[in-house]
Amino acid sequence: MAVTTRTSLSLTRRPRRLRRTEAIRALVRETRLTPDCFIYPLFVGAGEGVRREIGSMPGVFQLSVDEAIKEAAAAKSDGVPAVILFGLPEKKDPEGSVAYDPDAPVQTAVRALKREVRDVLVITDVCLCEYTSHGHCGIVDGDEIVNDITVDQLVRAALSHAVAGADVVAPSDMMDGRVGAIRKALDERGFDRTAIMSYAAKYCSGFYGPFREAADSTPQFGDRRSHQMDPGNVVEALREVEIDIQEGADIVMVKPALPYLDVLAKVKERFGYPTAAYHVSGEYSMLKAAAQRGWLDEPRVMMESLIGIKRAGADMIITYYARDAARLL
């Protein structure tokens, strides 16, 4: 039978009309990525001129403070307005006390970034796992991560970041009550303008594997199931977010991103609050690995992942792809 080029169906609705050219697709596009919704993670350690690539995260580096400044400045000129800092301390102890050392890499980097990189927004991750000798997010008693004394340590860390000049502190530990305790301590010392981005719904995820290599924070025993959320839960995520908002969080986060887009969508819909998503290390590494084998077109899957996260409800995305994506936009 001959194929005719003329229409034979009489259809009133033909959605394909709006997909014919890039111009018309752009007119009806519902979600757009812009570089100003990206937050770029930096791993900051001691030394000078250090730029050590992380094996499981090609293109991501452990940096000394001077290199972190260069990286943040380069991100800024790519259009990325914000960085989030993770610390690589020279020494660790069971209490994670270097987390609030004013001369540790993160505090030093915050001061340097605020001094040297114009208008950069500096966010600091607040957790003990990079600082404890056992790699846990808190103070350990036997096999228990003890909540309330851990919160005291987190408050000290958050305060030291605020004193150094951080714009936003981001507790990622998932202890109960830490947002309220940090808010209170900040306010009492006059840091009422320091915002809190809370890792509110942070799941116990295998996708953090490469980060733990980057931050040298793999727990020496046990796991994080007693504080991070069970992957099967979503109603509980809404309760977690509600609690953090009540305690004074300014921004709430869902983490990881792609396996939890339903959670992200519900959080945004329910609370209408400034919402962040963390496109975590494992999400980055799996795209990198497949791309290196030629199995995936990296720029394309990168942009598709990020737009999916935005479409689901993220106002902002923490991603190791921040600079690459910004440069493509």
Q: Least distance (Å) from ligand PBG to the CB of residue 154?
A: 11
Between 35 and 96, name the residue whose CB sits nearer to ligand PBG: 96
**What are the two backbone dihedrals, phi and then psi, of residue 29, each rounded to the nearest 5 degrees?**
-65, 130
Q: Least distance (Å) from ligand PBG to the CB of residue 207?
A: 6
* Pairing state between β 57-64 and 51-54: antiparallel
Q: By the criterion CB under 6 A, which residues form the site for ligand PBG?
A: 125, 127, 129, 172, 208, 211-212, 280-281
Residues of 133-168 as b/e, b for ≥16 C-beta within 10 angstroms? ebbbbbbbeeeebebeebbebbbbbbbbbbbbbbbb
Q: Least distance (Å) from ligand PBG to the CB of residue 156?
A: 16
Catalytic residue among 255, 266, 288, 310: 255
Between 191 and 320, name the residue whose CB sits nearer to ligand PBG: 320
Q: How many residues does the chain have?
A: 329
Task: Centre a 10 Å sphere on the Cβ of residue 312 and count the other Cβ atoms it contains.
Answer: 22
Q: Report the alpha-carbon distance of residue 123 to residue 84 in Å, rounded.
A: 5
Tell me the angle at which helices 178-188 and 147-164 cross, rounded to the nearest 10 degrees. Answer: 40
For residue 256 the two structure tokens come to: 């990881």
Task: Centre a 10 Å sphere on the Cβ of residue 41 and count the other Cβ atoms it contains.
Answer: 24
Task: Centre a 10 Å sphere on the Cβ of residue 182 and count the other Cβ atoms it contains.
Answer: 29
**In which residue are the tokens 């890499």 written?**
105
Between 107 and 281, name the residue whose CB sits nearer to ligand PBG: 281
Q: Least distance (Å) from ligand PBG to the CB of residue 114?
A: 22
Identify the CA nearest to 224 among candidates 238, 240, 212, 241.
212
Between 187 and 230, name the residue whose CB sits nearer to ligand PBG: 230
Q: Least distance (Å) from ligand PBG to the CB of residue 112?
A: 21
* Pairing state between β 195-202 and 144-146: unpaired
Between 106 and 127, name the residue whose CB sits nearer to ligand PBG: 127
Residues ≥6 apart with Cβ < 8 Å to 301: 287, 290, 291
Between 125 and 247, name the residue whose CB sits nearer to ligand PBG: 125
Q: Least distance (Å) from ligand PBG to the CB of residue 39?
A: 12
Q: Report the alpha-carbon distance of residue 318 to residue 276 in Å, rounded.
A: 7
Catalytic residue among 76, 202, 268, 310: 202
Residues ≥6 apart with Cβ < 8 Å to 289: none
202 flagged as catalytic:
yes
255 flagged as catalytic:
yes
Catalytically active residues are 202, 255
